[in-house]
Chain A
Amino acid sequence: MNSRRIWEDVRLVLVAIPVLLWTLVPIYHLFVLSISNEKAMLAGRFWPDEPTLQNYRIVFNQQHYYLNNFWLQMFNSFLVATAVGAITLFVATLAAFSISRLRTPGGRTIMNLALATYLIPAAFLAVPMYKAMGTYGLLNSKWALILAMVALASPYAIWVLKQASDKLPAELDEAAVIDGASPLQIFRLVYLPLMAPSMVAIGVYALLLAWNEYLYAFLLLSSEREITLAVALGQFLGADDSPWNILMATGMIYALPPMAIYYIFRKYMVSGLTAGAVKS
């Protein structure tokens, strides 16, 4: 019995090693380059001779022409992500309440249309969306990116909130209606408090989607002072002699906030999709 367990452990370790190598090499490489000076960066080593935080200092002090607007671009990313989180939450919570609790006629059709939007690849929608933003005169405005990301985030948000909302017992609203509560009072006093956990998850989902977005940001924003950090990272590729070590330091700084948030909320994030998928 005991030897079987040891044999089992050996097999597990033999799987774990390649899995960890596969997962960690690109991330480790990102980190190592971010603490390498220019000489170490070009040497292709596993660890630099003289690890340095100089690259981070350059980023924070905006001492490179790719980084002249680093703090502004960081702020843009933050602003867009927060706005997308808040607006998506507003739009989706109201829609989910209407479809699920008030059983508004046509609600199911709207739900299905929203789901179809969620399922069409965003990269395909980007081309006509770019044209539409041009028509609305919003190109190179952060509003273009905010609105586009709200359009991309709200279908999934409505779907998850509707699923969660369907699970609330019907007696709750019945009791409130008998007590003479208006729909708005039910929404505020019964619905919102019960839905708070799902709403946190959805707010975080929309916020991270917007923070991480590259394609739409890169299409819709162009000037140095409007772009988000994601686009700024892509701009490093413009020249052959890019300072990759500084780029990687910027990348580390850009990656840390969403990673922290992901790990705090990861249980909520998975349950949304699996709730529907596992049962089917």
Chain B
Amino acid sequence: MTAATATFSPVPQIATRAWHSDPMKLWGVLMLVPYGLVFLILVTYPVLYGIYIGLKPQSYVELFRDPAFTIAAWNTVLFLLIAVNLKFLLALALSGFFMAQRAWIKVVLVLFLLPWAMPSIPTILSVRFLLNPEWGLINAQLFKWFQIDGPNWLNDPTLAFGSAIFMHIWKSLPFWTLILITGRMAIAKDLYEAADVDGASRWQQFRYITWPSLAALYVTSTILSIIWTLGDFNSVYLLTGGGPGDRTHVLATLGIRYLRIDKLDLGIAAIITAMPFVLPLVFVMVKRLSRGPQDEA
């Protein structure tokens, strides 16, 4: 607290001067100009324009009549529920695995981080061909070993949607595992040693030491991940293209689909329907993230 208020003691003495005659304030304002311009031209204007377009009631009438929208909205809810929870349960478990004190585990970790380090397009396209019903590796091997015809992965709405969820988790799991590993590393080792001496079981150690220390981070990360999962365009679009028959769209890909077929109004409307859900989360996260280090301690 003292550190925060002590920064720039000269400022209060000259605070009464107008901003343009005070070099501190003049430079302070000038240095915010570049980002201010970026924000006004590339965020404010598009967002205000979007809201303006989104005010037309007839777009929503048309939107709710489009079966693709109903399916996409429902898919989005399913996608979030399954992908985020599964991803975090896996990340929680794997972060424990990677804490094991073995030299070879470090090597596994480096390999495990590859999906995060690679651009998503080549790997998504690789999986797309992997799932090809005629030539893909999976069905070819199924036939070779079990003489069965594998499913037509991306032409079955349920399997295609499941594959998109797999793709999303595959890409984002390493990052969140890494975050939870950092969280676990912040827990004092002697807590576990004391618990060992007292004969605490593995589960008790997790329940009474690990989880209480990790819970806040787990919640923050989950909220962040919900928001970003909502915006995952690539995993769905490049794997299934929203197909078969617009059955696997989520709101992020449906908005772009409307844009591509020249129905901008519907695209905006589809996005605005998600806002009552997105904005409270954004608000909570801005409050959480904007706390500076001096407020946390």
Task: Report which A residues bind B (CB closer than 8 A).
Answer: 8-9, 12, 15-16, 19-20, 22-27, 29-30, 33, 41-46, 90-92, 94-95, 97-99, 101-108, 110-117, 119-132, 135-136, 147-148, 150-151, 154, 158-159, 162-163, 166-167, 169-170, 173-174, 177, 182-184, 187, 211-212, 214-215, 219, 230, 233-234, 236-237, 244, 247-248, 251-252, 254-255, 258-259, 262-263, 266, 270, 273-280
20 interchain pairs, CB-CB under 8 A: A12-B105, A19-B112, A44-B140, A95-B32, A99-B32, A104-B32, A111-B290, A117-B39, A119-B282, A124-B252, A127-B255, A128-B53, A131-B49, A211-B119, A234-B121, A263-B110, A270-B179, A278-B186, A278-B217, A280-B288
Closest A residue by C-beta to B42? A151
Binds A, one of B63-71, B81-89, B129-137, B204-212: B129-137
Q: Which B residues touch A42, using CB under 8 A?
A: 134-135
- Nearest Cβ on chain A to B132's Cβ, whole angstroms: 8
In angstroms, Cα B288 to Cα A197, docked, is 25
Given contacts A123-B255, A211-B119, is CB(A112)–CB(B7) below 8 Å? no
The answer, among B23, B50, B228, B264, for a CB contact under 8 Å with A183, is B23
Tell whether, in the assembled complex, residue A280 and residue B296 are in contact, meaning their CB atoms are under 8 Å apart. Answer: yes
For residue A176, give the distance in angstroms from its CB to the closest CB of chain B. Answer: 11
Residues of chain A within 8 A (CB-CB) of B271 are: 124, 127
**4 closest Cβ pairs, A-B complex:** A121-B231, A44-B140, A251-B122, A104-B28
Q: With contacts A107-B32, A124-B231, A174-B8 known, is A259 near B278, CB below 8 A?
A: no
Residues of A within 8 A of B127 (CB): 26, 29
Number of interface residues of B (CB under 8 A): 112
Q: Which residues of B contact A94 (CB under 8 A)?
A: 31-32, 34-35
**Pair B114/A279 contact, Cβ less than 8 Å:** no
Question: Are A258 and B256 closer than 8 Å at their CB atoms?
Answer: no
Interface of chain A, main secondary structure: helix
Bound CA–CA A278/B139 (angstroms): 43
B17 to nearest A CB, angstroms? 13
Least CB distance from A44 to B in Å reads 2
- Pairwise interchain contact B118-A259, C-beta atoms closer than 8 A: yes
Q: Which of A127, A258, A263 contacts B268 (CB 8 A)?
A: A127
- Cβ of B188 under 8 Å from chain A: no
Q: In the complex, are the beta carbons of A173 and B108 less than 8 A apart?
A: no
Within 8 A of A (CB), among B103-158: 104-105, 108, 110-123, 125-127, 129-130, 134-141
